[in-house]
Chain A
Amino acid sequence: MGRFDGKTVLIAGCKGAADEIAKIICEEGGTVIVNDPDSSLTDAIEAPVAEKLNYGTSMEDTRAMIDELIGKWVTDETTKQSSKESDGKYSALHAVIMNYDEFEVCKMRADQLTLEAYNTAMDVNVRSLFHLFGAIREYYRSKQGTKEQASVVVMTSVVGLAGLTQLSTLYAAAKGAVNGMIRSVAKEFGRYANVNGVSQGFYSEKKNPVGPKDRLKGDYQLQMTDRAKEELTYNDVAKMVAYLASDDAHMISGQIISVDGGLWLRVQA
């Protein structure tokens, strides 16, 4: 029997480890729905997912996606009870994995910051999560007092904890913002859902930074870990995500767990 038998999981954002996460959850009996505004990314998902959606990340689009999946839920402010106003395609949504990510637009020095880059970085990395948290809250709140604790797993980065990658103070700010939001929403959702983060280390494509030689040398030394000669793989990260999305992790909340081969241990400040 798999950890996700009878469970429905939404993976929002199809870059990076999304496919590996979907594969693990599907193999363990789960029904997986993936969403990304970019259809080429959803098309590239090889896991046998139930649906590939292409909703945007605005508040309206995100709410429309959640309404389509599990119906529209509202909370009566007097009784504090959540109820369903309309039906969705699925009877439940047990876990949401928030994987929206934008790194490329962030590649600039601090004194080169543009409002356009800032807004794109925040839209994709931060505001998308804010919209998802808001959209699922009413449904998740209906789980209060039941044994059906729901889960949220947010993909974040060691850069948000330690500011590592060169020329990306904007990415560090965005992922730091994600980390702050994880902890706050974990407190807000505490009675009905656990909220955790997975801080990813560097995959091979991010191991080619540019910048002054001295700094790159220093950066390389910083990034050396006991596991430095092995590549961090999406599968390494996906296993932690699947664990946090499963019932096995129901007493874990507000954590940001690093899967980075020990990098955070070396660079934490």
Chain B
Amino acid sequence: MHKHRLALRFGAALFAIGVVALWQLVAASGVFSKAYFTSPSQTVDALLALQARGELWQPLAGTCLRMAYGWALASVLGIAIGAALAQSDRLRDFVEPTLEFLRPLPASAIIPAAILFLGLTPQMAVAVIAFGSIWPVLLGSYNGFTRIDERIVEVARLHEMPAVAFACKIALPCALPDIFAGLRVNLAIALILAVVVEIQAGLTGLGFNIMIAQRLFRTPELYAGIVLLGAVGFITSRTLLFVERRLLRWRSLGH
């Protein structure tokens, strides 16, 4: 079995290399117009050129920071509001229908409104990212905190557990799986919103860069920007997954 898995890993690597090689060949053959099809080697060259010119790290940092601030703000607020809303049973009937209605609203739809009311500023960008990506984690937090098993609540009561201890030791761990499910989604949305806001508002960042690259027909730079955005998406989602796996270790064990 060990050999089998090794063979598959090798096969996967071979496949990936094969795809890149195919890409390179197709680009070299000129089947697709150079105007919108760049080869891998040209993409790498463009990346290195950007780095040499000092135009790599700043936009990258711009996008990442914007996304990070917006996501962090959305997450903290979302968890807190979700927890607060979950407190009261009576509040549920008032709140749930509104939440259900707001859920399918596309996050990017608030961008034109935000630009109108807040102007084309970096603060607007963070506000848009925060507000647009808050819903998944708010819903996750709300679900997590309302679905605490009543049996565990009774155990806490039998131990005469004070409210603060209950919140930290019981409610939060119970809600954590649902909260993480929401966090994964809102991370993806935060990245999307960051890119769109940068395109719209012309703020320093990868989104803005790829827009400029397109307008100036610098297609290799466009591809380079896409690769960078993919890297941002990859690293952030993997990091979150890693944290989730460590905190929720107990879920994968047993049975």
A binds B: no
